[in-house]
Amino acid sequence: MEMETKSANFYAGALERIRSFMIGLAVLLSLAAWAAFRWPAALGFQLGCAIAYINFYWLKRVVSAMADRITQTGKRESGKGIVLRFLLRYVLMGVGAYAILSVSPASLYGLLTGLFLPVGAIACEAGYELYVAVARGL
């Protein structure tokens, strides 16, 4: 039973670790983008990372709100608010892409790359979970 509790506690922290990986990767890769491609690409990458982080946060809130509405527990949130936040995520990405493209077309590659930040963070989390599973037997 104790091993199950340790495993449950470990996996319950995955979302917070993914957020930490996102912040760490954003800083590290922004520096690498600046060193390799200079400020336009780095600025686009940072904007893409910011949009991806906000998108990830809002997606978590939408999923939690939908789960609360389905199970009828916790605070109830209007369906309109859930749909509005869902659509606002895509509007934000479109506005960011248009702004970057109109200022510096070269930065668009950085922006699009930055939008993949959650993928890198989830890959880091998967690697960490694999390491912990092998090293600690969770």
- Give pLDDT tens digits for 55-103: 888 888 777 777 777 776 555 556 677 677 778 878 877 887 787 778 7
**Which of 23, 29, 61, 24 has the alpha carbon at shortest distance from 42?**
29
Domain span including residue 21: 2-136
Q: Rounded distance, CA 20 to CA 109, Å? A: 24
pLDDT value at residue 30:
94
Angle at 128 between CA 123 and CA 130, to 5 degrees: 95
pLDDT at residue 129 is higher than 80: yes
Q: Structurally, how many domains does the chain consist of?
A: 1
Q: What is the sign of the dihedral through the CA atoms of 39, 41, 45 and 48? A: positive
Q: Rounded distance, CA 77 to CA 59, Å? A: 15
> Are 136 and 68 in contact, with CB atoms under 8 Å apart?
no
